[in-house]
Amino acid sequence: PGTPYRYHIANTPVPDPASRRQQGGVHGWSIVPDHSYPWRTPEWRGRPWHEMVVMELHAGTLGGFSGVLQRLPALAALGVTAIQLMPINAFAGDRGWGYDGVLPYAVHEAYGTPTELRALIDAAHELGLSVFLDVVYNHFGPDGNYLGLYADRFFHRDVATPWGGAVAVDEAPVARFFIDNALMWLKDYRFDGLRLDAVHAIDNPQFLDKMAAEIRAALPDRHVHLVLENEQNDAARLRSDAYDAQWNDDFHNVLHVLLTGETSAYYGDFADEPAERLARCLSEGFIYQGDPSPNHDGKPRGTPSAHLAPIRFVSFLQNHDQVGNRALGERLTLLTDPAKLRAATALMLLAPQIPLLFMGEEEGSESPFLFFTDFHDDLADAVREGRRKEFAKFEAFADEKTRETIPDPNALSTFEASIPQPGPDAGTWRSFYQTLLHLRRDHIAPRLSTPKQHPVEGRGPVGKAEGESTPL
């Protein structure tokens, strides 16, 4: 353990594609790992899914694994039952969201060591907190991905994705690479579950089914939870116990329209009769269940979901995508009335769907969460300009001078601005969240072990109670 090594292939020194630890970044040396760790919670078996209240965290903005560990007692006291780390696999540079990873097995060097990661998970388990990990099996980042140099069949060059050729999960060694990666996080680090990023870009249900089956067979005595992100609203993987739930963007989108009045881009799909759409979401899961979607060129989007239990859906008002993919990274605290936000928060936390929070919202944070990277030279220029061109279609950034106000993703100041700070009413917000989460723990969660859908009706304009003319 501790020995540096690498391979020399095609006249190029390359890291181990399954490196567990790197020295000197993704272009540097791989390190022989030390798997020993004195677990203090070896008997931990996890928590059942219906008890989950998930807080999504970015380890880098919180001071790495040790910084996250220090926040655990406050989260447990709040009523959170699980944390979900944004990707922690090795990616180029020190700063980033983690979705541009190139070494899926290696712990990102800037966040801490494998031992520090295990200590974080051990401490969470001592507090009764489950720990989930966001994993990316649909693409690799643009800097440090050497697989294409010597393993061309790892990708389908003729199948286009936003990140290049599709990952060839239909090839047995490629499928094995990712399934073993999932098992490593769950076994060696004792994560309690995985969130699979953008499986619509994988487009291979057989691979997803095989992965879930192997995980279930390997860990039959633990509460291991598997959650999907699939923008196609495909309910097929949720019909069995293979996958526990799926992120429900529809919940966020319709409430964002109601809270902010924004109807541009994909929010236009939710602009008409939003109260009725919200009612369908609460009672049936997806809003789009095969309905024509204007944002998808009028094509049908989604499959029927009314037969599924509410806990098959993860609801959220904010997450890394929905905040960070805004040009200026604004949170809802800056986009809507506080009273409306409190009403929406109460709805989310007391509804039977599984709630997901985003770090800082429990303290009314007004800090932005911006898109940040740590690329250099031509790649840095391409990312900066690509980010600004992405927003050219929005009226607020129609002219070039206005687009220049969009923060440079590669600037250190962009990362530093994204470190969540408590808002001016942090104590009030924290007390509000704690009250709601304790109500959920005592009165909602116990009734969710055998849940079923119930009809929900939209009664007039959302934001006004019967007989009132002012917003709640």
Distance, CA of 86 to CA of 88 (rounded, Å): 6
- Number of helices (H), then strands (E), belonging to the chain: the values are 13, 19
Quick check: 379 and 142 in contact, CB under 8 A?
Answer: yes
Q: Residues, the chain, total?
A: 472
Give the contacts of 329 (CB within 8 A, at least 6 positions apart): 323, 368, 369, 370, 371, 407, 417, 418
User: How would DSSP label each residue in 358-382?
Assistant: ETTGGGT------------HHHHHH
Residue 377 annotated as catalytic: no
User: How would DSSP label each residue in 160-225?
Assistant: EETTEEEE-TTSHHHHHHHHHHHHHHHHTS---EEEETTGGGT--HHHHHHHHHHHHHH-TTS--E
Distance, CA of 135 to CA of 117 (rounded, Å): 15
Residue 109 annotated as catalytic: no
Say which of 192, 197, 269, 374 is annotated catalytic: 197
* β-strand partners of 56: 84, 358
Say which of 51, 122, 134, 229 is annotated catalytic: 229
Structure tokens at 40: 């203090």
Give the contacts of 434 (CB within 8 A, at least 6 positions apart): 77, 78, 79
Distance, CA of 327 to CA of 335 (rounded, Å): 13
Quick check: 214 and 175 in contact, CB under 8 A?
Answer: no
Active site residues: 197, 229
